[in-house]
Amino acid sequence: MFMKIIIVVSKGVGQVYCEQCNKGFKNKNSLSCHKRFDCGKTNRFICSWCSYSTKRFHTLKRHCTKVHKCPIDMNLIMTMETH
């Protein structure tokens, strides 16, 4: 009971939800950004060093720098769209 109330409160008032996937966002800007770049999209950017994949280029860039300590090599990026 108590936990349930906490969850509802922490979700916050005024949060917007994507009608497609039900994901919650803080504001309309984040939601429209999600709709444009995230929602329903398959992971396009795949890391060449491991099986990590993401929808956003900058996320892959960050992943490579953080995990592999190596800046991203544009030539190694594959996209799933080309099959």
Question: Contact positions toward Zn ion, by CB under 5 A?
Answer: 18, 20-21, 39, 47, 49-50, 52
Q: Which two tokens stand for residue 10?
A: 């922490």
Whole-angstrom distance, CA of residue 43 vs CA of residue 80: 7
Give the type of residue at 55. K
Min dist. Cβ of residue 1 to Zn ion (A):
30
From the CB of 7, what's the least distance to Zn ion, in Å?
Answer: 20
Our CB check for Zn ion shows the closer of 50 and 76 to be 50
In the bound state with Zn ion, the residue whose beta carbon lies nearer, of 6 and 71, is: 71
Place of tokens 């300590």: 69
- Chain-centre distance for alpha carbon 71: 20
Nearer to Zn ion, 8 or 17 (CB): 17
